Amino acid sequence: MKAIIIFILIFGVLVTFHEFGHFIMAKRAGIFVREFSIGMGPLIFHYQGQETTYSLRLLPMGGYVRMAGLEENNDYFEPGRPVSAVLDDEGAIRFLSFMEEANLEEGLPLEVVAGDMEKDFYLEAIPYGENEAKRFAISRSAVIEEEDGTQVKVAPIDRQFQNASLKDRLLTNLAGPFNNFVLAVVVYILIAFMQGGVYSDAPTVGEIVADSPAASAGLMAGDTIQQIGATSIASFTDIQAALQQSGTKKVDVQVKRTNGEVKTLTLTPKEEQDQSGNKRLILGIMRSKDQRFTSKIMYGFTSIWGIVTGIFGVIGHMLRTGFNINNFGGPVYMYQATSEVVSFGASAVLSLMAYLSVNLGVVNLLPIPALDGGKVLLNLVEGIRKKPLSAKTEGMINMIGAVLLVLLFIAVTWNDIMRLF
């Protein structure tokens, strides 16, 4: 249960930060944001802001920013559709409900004939019990109650996404992945401060584990390991490789003390078994830490750079050798990874969240239709052509991309499940 809760929290934080980037940039650009939702599916709670509705939905696996514009379904005024309207003192519609069973004490039941909530702001409808249609003005601050109970504001066409400048649309599309990178940087910096510094890969001894082979042999904190047996040591990672050669036999370890003295100590590596049942040889030493303030800050940037280069390395390998579904992981993989790290404490959980945040940012920047990177690519094409693609063409491209992503999601999820067994 603990792993499930942490998994939901991690996924929720990643998606919320991603969408919050789109939200902030859209607001800055003057794009009308109808709704900012945490979660997907049925509505649990909503708060009506000055313009934007902030909602909480039942399924915690996701979220979205709903901007007024081309990607919305604006078929509100289908002829014959029943609606319920509340009028203001001047007779204009201030509240319009599309719920099938709207319960409005002051609501006027109507049957839609025609209408517009983008340019002319009117509704032509037949009042209940009458035969003649009437024309009602719609207030430019009117609230719409949708079929699921979500309440959003009407949006004039000049503030819709497609009518923002190319620069503002481009920055809005980039803001989601950018926020994932910002989150990762902040989390890695927090981890550096929590653990008291940045662990170094230098072969310098940090702490000595009590009753360990290193403690028995006389190794000291600050010693730099130069050689194990016949193997020269250049990094902390080299130590484990050298131990695999010596096994559990006695081995000479050459170290350089902080005063410059070089000593040779003899010790016997100890064999231990980790939680996964894998055996490894240990000396009983910890990595040294760089405790400088600047190093802790830089750790946030160097960590995400290492992940980004690793991801593009995998992508480059697939371009050379072919697609491999085992290089992908979905929600099942994320849950499995969360289950494995949750027992290692807060730092491990935060590290996983930062790692996944970078992955989410990079994947969303890939030039695939329906992803942010695909939208950015269309923005760049528009900049080159000096005019946007037609709404029909852009919609078709995004639809094809969405279908391919759904198929990939299903395949990746199925592969993750198979890997569990």
Give yes or no for a contact between 401 and 368, defined as CB atoms under 8 angstroms apart. yes
DSSP 78: -
Angle (CA) 358-362-364 rounded to 5° is 115
For 96, the 3-state DSSP assignment is strand
| Percent of the chain that is helix, strand, coil (3-state, to 5) | 45, 25, 30
Exposure string for 265-294, b = 16+ CB within 10 A, e = fewer: bebebbeeeeeeeeeebbbbbebbbeeeee
Angle between helices 293-321 and 346-365 (to 10 degrees): 50
| Cα separation, 159 vs 172, whole angstroms | 14
Question: H or E segment at 407?
Answer: helix 391-420
Question: How far apart (Å, rounded) are the C-alpha atoms in residues 335 and 391?
Answer: 38
Cα 138-140-142 angle, rounded to 5 deg: 70
Beta-carbon contacts of 349 under 8 Å, excluding residues fewer than 6 positions away, are 6, 10, 338, 341, 342
Rounded-to-integer distance, Cα 205 and Cα 267, Å: 15
H/E segment holding residue 343: none
Residues marked as catalytic = 19
Are 16 and 360 in contact by the 8 Å Cβ rule? The answer is no
